[in-house]
Each structure stands twice: as structure tokens, then as C-alpha cells.
């Protein structure tokens, strides 16, 4: 018997699937960008922005503004704000203030490609909140 939406939402289990930018590039390869970004494309853009920052600096956060994201995604500012709020409610995004600009950080574990290739990663399926510190 299929579970109802409420039954699914009240369960405490959560599956975390580790991904990387290479997977997202593959999954979205060949997809023509719509005039407006889809939510998936916007999330991919956040992943790509944070990955770029992580590879260029020691920082994990994305500096930006709702206006800049709205222009990049071709959304209105209210839609961007709601999307970021929803990601925050899902526990995927932290919003802060860095100097004069907003900063956004996707909650993620940072690993090298060698670590990702190991099949026995101890925290691969743990929710982010249940992972031991340092992972």
C-alpha cells in the first residue's frame, strides 16, 4: 500500500546521496537552459558557484545578493528569496552576512576525488546532522 504524503513527511529517515559537480554536469548535459532556470538548474548553479569558490579559495560560502541570483536565474527577487528560504528549511543552505553582502553556504562535506572513489566511506548515507564531526 502506498504511503500518504503526510506519512512520508512525518518519517524521520533521510537519505543523503553524495554528489559532485561532475555528476551534475553529466545529468544536465545536453539540456537546453530554459529562458528561466528551473529549481534544479538554480540548485545546480549554487553547487557550481560554491565549488568554484572552494577550488579558488579556502572559503566555503558564496557571496552574493538576491538581486544577482535573480538576474542570473531570470527569476524575480521574491521567487529567489522563497527558493533560498525553502533550501534553508530543508537544512541544505545557511544564510549569513559577510561584510556588506549576504553569504550563502550549501551544507556539504568536502572530500577529494580519491576519498569519493572509496566505496567504504563511513558516512556516505548519514544525514548531515548525524555525521561525525570532521566529515
CB neighbour list of residue 46: distance below 8 Å, 6 or more residues apart = 62, 87, 93, 104, 106
Q: With 60 as the cut, is the pLDDT of residue 128 above it?
A: no
pLDDT tens per residue, range 30-47:
766 568 899 999 998 998
Residue 30 DSSP one-character state: T
Phi, psi dihedral angles at 22 (to 5 degrees): -65, -40
**52 pLDDT band (50/70/90 cuts)?**
confident
* The pTM of the whole model exceeds 0.85: no
Q: With 70 as the cut, is the pLDDT of residue 102 above it?
A: yes
Kindly report the CATH number that applies to the domain delimited by 36-109: 1.10.10.10
- What's the start-to-end Cα distance of the chain, in Å? 37
Section 13-25 average pLDDT:
73
**84 pLDDT band (50/70/90 cuts)?**
very high
Section 103-112 average pLDDT:
74
Maximal CA-CA distance, the chain: 53
Amino acid at each position: 500500500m502506498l504511503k500518504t504524503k503526510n506519512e512520508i513527511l512525518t518519517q524521520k529517515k533521510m537519505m543523503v546521496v553524495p554528489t559532485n559537480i561532475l555528476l551534475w554536469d553529466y545529468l544536465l548535459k545536453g539540456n537546453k537552459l530554459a529562458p528561466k532556470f528551473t529549481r534544479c538548474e538554480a540548485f545546480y548553479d549554487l553547487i557550481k558557484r560554491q565549488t568554484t569558490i572552494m577550488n579558488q579559495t579556502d572559503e566555503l560560502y558564496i557571496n552574493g545578493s538576491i538581486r544577482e541570483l535573480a538576474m542570473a536565474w531570470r527569476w524575480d527577487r521574491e521567487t529567489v528569496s522563497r527558493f533560498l528560504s525553502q533550501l534553508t528549511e530543508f537544512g541544505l543552505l545557511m544564510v549569513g552576512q559577510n561584510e556588506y553582502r549576504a553569504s550563502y553556504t550549501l551544507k556539504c562535506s568536502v572530500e577529494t576525488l580519491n576519498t569519493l572513489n572509496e566505496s567504504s566511506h563511513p558516512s556516505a548515507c548519514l544525514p548531515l546532522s548525524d555525521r561525525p564531526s570532521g566529515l
